[in-house]
Amino acid sequence: MTGIDLIIFDFDGVLVDSETMGCQIWSDVFAKHGMTVSAQDIMEKYTGKTGTLICSLVEQEYGYHIPDGFLDEVNETTEEIMSRELKTVAGVLETMPKLYVPVCIASGSRPKRLNMCLDVTGLRRWFPDETVFSSHFVKNGKPAPDLFFYAAEKMKVSPEKCLVIEDSTAGIIGAKAAGMKAYGFIGASHCTPERGRQLIENGADLLFDDFTKLPELLKV
């Protein structure tokens, strides 16, 4: 592919196979507080969004009151479990050295969790601190384009020369709103044909399900 000077990766569900685990953690913490929100519902409705936005949307949709400290409990539980069990998506570690353009991360996750996950998975070597951007750095998380504009500015690349790799509709919508090319990745364990259809409907330029194919796609 010509004209791409930066690849912006989402983190969960693209570089690390964390979405199924993360959604189950959210569901379990809801249940602990007497609230019923299935992991499947969380997967379908809220992936790609910040924890604060998820809590707000759940209150609106389900009529629950989210207690003080709830999000801290989710974050602490997530960090504890993922520090032991998190794995990269198949093909990521072998493919990263083959990418010939600069890379960065634009994620809805908290900086603390991102840094922990990068360290425990071995991804840190490709993503030093100055290339890791969280929705917590901007006013509006995905599906707003703010984080993508922020990442492009910090990496000193024009938005139209950025390629975003996303597994969520929120991410695809945000990337396209920023004027960037966006590929939908459907190779993690949580992805289904329905997920792929949703990504295309929301503007993904193409879909791929094998991370090792990314270098070839950059040549198209």
Q: Which residues of 158-172 are buried (b: 16+ CB within 10 A; e: fewer)?
A: ebeebbbbbbbbbbb
Structure tokens, 76: 């602490």
pLDDT tier, 1 (very low <50, low <70, confident <90, very high otherwise): low
Residue 52 burial (C-beta neighbours within 10 Å; 0-12, 13-18, 19+): middle
Beta bridge partners of 165: 9, 183
Residue 22: predicted pLDDT: 87
Q: Hey, which bits of 120-160 come out as E strands?
A: 132-134
Query: Residue 219: which pLDDT band, with cuts at 50, 70 and 90?
Result: confident
Question: b/e map of 181-202 (b: 16 or more CB within 10 Å)?
Answer: bbbbbbbbebbeeebbebbeeb
Rg (C-alpha) for the chain, rounded Å, is 16
pLDDT of 107: 96
Q: Where along the chain do its domains lie?
A: 6-17+86-217, 19-85
- Identify the pLDDT of residue 220: 65
Q: What is the mean pLDDT of residues 85-99?
A: 95
Architecture of domain 19-85: Orthogonal Bundle (1.10)
Write out pLDDT tens, residues 6-41: 999 999 999 998 878 889 999 999 999 999 999 999
Nearest CA among 178, 123, 172, 126 for reference residue 153: 178
3-class DSSP state of 163: strand
Average pLDDT, the chain: 94
- At residue 218, φ and ψ (nearest 5 deg) are -70, -15
CA atoms of 75 and 98, how far apart (whole Å): 33
Q: Tell me, which fold does domain 6-17+86-217 have in CATH?
A: Rossmann fold (3.40.50)
Residue labelled with tokens 């990442």 = 151
Reference 215, options 137, 103, 85, 109; nearest CA is 103
DSSP 3-state assignment of 154? helix
Determine how many CB atoms are found less than 10 A away from the CB of residue 214.
21
Model confidence pLDDT, tens digit, residues 38-67: 999 998 898 878 889 999 999 999 999 999
H or E segment at 200?
helix 193-201
Whether residue 108 has pLDDT greater than 70: yes
Lowest mean pLDDT among 45-54, 136-145, 208-217: 45-54
Q: How confident is the model at residue 122 (pLDDT cuts 50, 70, 90)?
A: very high
- For residue 2, pLDDT over 70 is answered with no
Distance CA 30, CA 17 (A): 22
* pLDDT tens sequence across 171-202: 999 999 999 999 999 998 787 788 899 999 99
pTM for the model stands at 0.83
